[in-house]
Amino acid sequence: MSDLYWPGDDRAGEHFGQEAFVRALVDVEEDWLARLGHPADLQALVQSRDLEVLAREAERGGNPVIGLVDRLRDGLTGEPASWLHRGLTSQDVVDSALVRMAERAAGDLRADLAALGADLTALAQAHRDTPMVARTLTQHAVPTTFGLRVAQWLAALVDADEQLSGLSFPDQVGGAAGTRAAMVELGVEVDLEPLPWHTVRAPVTRLGDALVTTTDALARIANDVLVMSRPEIGELSEGRPGGSSTMPGKANPVLSVLVRRAALTTPQLAATLHVGAASQVDDRADGGWHAEWATVRDLVRRTLTAASQSVELVAGLQVHAERMAATLAAAGASVRAEQRAMTDLTGRVPLPSYDGQAGAIVDAVVLRAQRHWRSA
């Protein structure tokens, strides 16, 4: 897929594309038909050329399942045609399809995060003792190390991946109003777990929250690269900067810009999912559920794109340690003001290096990351 409105969208592959959505819907119907004892190959009954018709028909029923079931039933003969979709409702099929697509996307996303984590681990270790000046509220603060800065990036990434790893992707099996009455009439045995979640949207909001936590972590990296690659700072630069349409030779930190772009938009998408969850009423929602589909699609694809861009960003990142050291030296005595205050209080001789436990913190974060991905 590609999207001129969202450069880099092709990095998300076919996840949550129109064809992927229809395939997932058909998978749900096919699995249910087999569960009823009447298996049939349904995928061959829907072609790419049918997508436009299905999209138009979806408006009539408010969702794509009604038209899809009609098309599938027309292509079937015998018992499978009679049993198709029996006991299910449209929301069962859409919800199940969405979480199945989300589970596959989360797997690919976590693979990118693992690759990014490995690169950040190596970068933190390589610059464990590379001195630079810390900045707080945009101003010079105290001496630190670039390795500690990278360790902060890594810690945020581990937090995000832990949240992704804790997600569940339950099929939706509730029937018309979550009572499973038709299934009982059909004699279909369905385990109580997972319970129907027609109006309890935690599987969707938790997904949204985990994706936003991920883009938060990715933006943590991009924001620092954007600041530290400013010409007047020059401590970092992208390995493959972008150009300018009017200024030849200009090196724009494009990957960082695009990762930041994603992080500026995903929280609002997750907020839409929470608004939809808060608007649930009766036994099937009127609009809150419908608002989820495109929202989840955009949230997933933007996160996947940002993760892929972040892998490339970190893999090619240029670290200018000499500029870091020069900036720290130029800051002069001001960056040791806290150290002087502490030594005045204790009467101790000032340490030659004033970065506290920076190296030990880097080691601890790296160890946590290594343990996390070994167990993932």
Interatomic CA distance for residues 307 and 248, integer angstroms = 29
From 284, 323, 336, 368, the catalytic residue:
284
Greatest extent of the chain over all pairs of C-alpha atoms, in Å: 92
Whole-Å CA distances, 304 to 9, 50, 51, 288: 9, 28, 24, 25
Please, which residues have CB within 8 angstroms of residue 87's CB and are 6 or more apart in sequence? 32, 36, 175, 180, 182, 183, 186, 188
Whole-Å CA distances, 353 to 113, 130, 142, 287, 364: 34, 12, 11, 60, 20
Whole-Å CA distances, 224 to 13, 60, 200, 233, 303: 28, 49, 38, 11, 19
Interatomic CA distance for residues 314 and 16, integer angstroms = 27
Q: Which helix (H) or strand (E) holds 134?
A: strand 131-136
DSSP letter string over 195-253? PP-SS--HHHHHHHHHHHHHHHHHHHHHHHHHHHTSTTT-SEE-SS-B--SSSTT--B-
Interatomic CA distance for residues 139 and 150, integer angstroms = 19
284 is catalytic: yes
244 is catalytic: yes
Please, which residues have CB within 8 angstroms of residue 145's CB and are 6 or more apart in sequence? 127, 128, 129, 130, 131, 132, 355, 358, 359, 362
- Residues acting as catalytic residues: 244, 284
